[in-house]
Amino acid sequence: MYRFVVVAATLVAMASPTLAQPMGPPPGGERPQQGQSPAIDAGARLFISPAGEPFRSQDGLAEWFAGADANHDGALTLPEFRDDAMRFFKVLDLDGSGSIEGPENSRYETRIAPEITRPDFGLGGPMGGPPPKKPLIHKSVRKEPKVGAARFSLLNEAQPVRGADADLNQRVSSEEWAKAARRRFEILDTDKDGKLTIEALRPRL
């Protein structure tokens, strides 16, 4: 009996370092990057940028804004806003063809921002945590409820990639993406002064 206990203890000690190792990359060998689905920290919240890029952190709006504000002056101009959108376009355009097509859009919905296809996701508390006393996702001022990406975004747009498909041909060209960026900027620029500030954007969430 004593010998059995010693052997069992030895096996547990050998396994412990393995159990302590962090999880490796997801299936397919890809490591989580910005725009993909990383491991979710307790208390993280989902924010989807106007271009459709997901940010999973304590303050995704601030994280996105800081990255898009190229000259760090606290204001987003249309060129900065459009440049940020085009950067994410390149993330989605895997084959570099200059357009986002069916498989690439499916990848967006299933790997990059799968939350937008889950009707009950995000209506409770922070990801991985219990529901808070006040909902993190505010109700729309409009009568109809927000769906898809609109629940996590500044814009009432359910699927940002499909929303940029102006001619409805099931693919989004870089030109369409740039035009969608301008349209989204103009919606957010409510005072029409040609710039966006984070203070003006926060009330929209």
Domain that holds residue 179: 34-204
Mean pLDDT in residue range 2-7: 42
29 in a domain, yes or no?
no
Q: d(Cα 201, Cα 205) in Å, to the nearest integer?
A: 8
The pLDDT tens digits for 12-42 are 344 433 333 333 333 223 334 444 444 445 5
CB 81 within 8 A of CB 201: no
Decide which of 53 and 142 is more confident: 53
Residue 101 lies in a domain: yes
User: Is 74 within a domain?
Assistant: yes
User: Which of 26-30, 114-118, 123-127, 201-205 bottoms out in mean pLDDT, i.e. has the lowest?
Assistant: 26-30
Do the Cβ atoms of 179 and 186 come closer than 8 Å? no
Is the confidence at residue 109, as pLDDT, over 80?
Answer: yes
pLDDT at 84 over 90: yes
User: Domain for residue 145, yes or no?
Assistant: yes
β partners of residue 76: 196
Residue 115 has pLDDT above 90, yes or no: yes
Look at 36 and 74; give whichever has higher pLDDT. Answer: 74
Q: Is residue 20 part of a domain?
A: no
Q: What is the pLDDT of residue 143?
A: 55
| pTM for the full predicted model | 0.71
Domain count for the chain: 1
The answer to whether residue 148 sits within a structural domain is yes
What is the arithmetic mean of pLDDT over 107-118? 96
Distances in whole angstroms, Cα of residue 192 to Cα of each of 61, 156, 195: 21, 19, 8
User: What is the average pLDDT value for the chain, to the nearest integer?
Assistant: 78
pLDDT at 51 exceeding the cut of 80: yes
Q: Is the pLDDT of residue 151 over 50?
A: yes
In a domain, 17, yes or no: no
In a domain, 94, yes or no: yes
